[in-house]
Amino acid sequence: MFAGCCTYYKVDSEIWQGLWKWARRRHPMKNTQWIKNRYFHREGSRNWVFGIKESGGGRTVIRSKLIKAADTPIRRHTKIKAAANPFDRDWEPYFEARETAAMKKSLIGRVKTLWETQDGKCPACNQQIRKGDEWHVHHKIPKYLGGDDTLTNLAILHQNCHRQVHAKYKIDELPAL
Ligand SMILES: [Zn+2]
């Protein structure tokens, strides 16, 4: 299978976005600068190199550095496996399953039922709602238009998605969701 450079840049960009989201989820209380300092480093002319910094013997090295797909010679397809590595795409389902279990544990009652009905996903963006994400309960038919609090009229959405849904419709219209 031929994979051109553009494919690799696309892969890098997707991995980068995944890592950034992962880091944000892992440290929900930390700001952007803190996350950049912890996981994304300058190396030579390159900035935003993902890795864990480690100091020792008077120097700092970037441990667990992410090799860019765009740097990979096309003939090589070596996969280095480490047990349960959150930086490895192949392990994503494992970590997702763990997060799903954690989310189920943290939710109770009607919200849990809603979340399960939605298959754990936000109906606005179709992405998972994970533990640590900010979420809102959304009324499909707004209360001022007679909507009630029954489960069929409710959905849980990411906080940002919820804001976007509400920003999109006019006061006398029904929201798209
Ligand atoms: Zn969403």
Per-domain residue ranges of the chain:
5-69, 93-168
Contact between residue 120 and residue 100 where contact means Cβ atoms under 8 Å apart = yes
Q: What is the pLDDT of residue 117?
A: 92
Walking along the chain (177 residues) 10 residues at a time, the average pLDDT comes out as: 52 74 85 84 75 67 60 44 58 69 79 90 92 86 81 90 80 59
Q: Which residues pair with 63 in a beta bridge?
A: 52
**Ligand 1: centre distance to CA 109 (Å):** 21
Structure tokens at 112: 């849990």
Q: What is the pLDDT of residue 122?
A: 94
3-state secondary structure of 136: strand
Q: What is the pLDDT of residue 82?
A: 42
Structure tokens at 122: 């936000």
CA angle (9, 10, 13) in 5-degree steps? 85
**Ligand 1: centre distance to CA 129 (Å):** 7
**Ligand 1: centre distance to CA 148 (Å):** 22
The C-alpha torsion from 50 through 98 and 27 to 106, rounded to 10°, is 170
Q: What is the pLDDT of residue 76?
A: 40
**Ligand 1: centre distance to CA 141 (Å):** 18
**Ligand 1: centre distance to CA 66 (Å):** 28
Which of 33, 53, 35 minimizes the C-alpha distance to 43? 53
**Ligand 1: centre distance to CA 43 (Å):** 34
Q: What is the pLDDT of residue 75?
A: 43
**Ligand 1: centre distance to CA 110 (Å):** 19
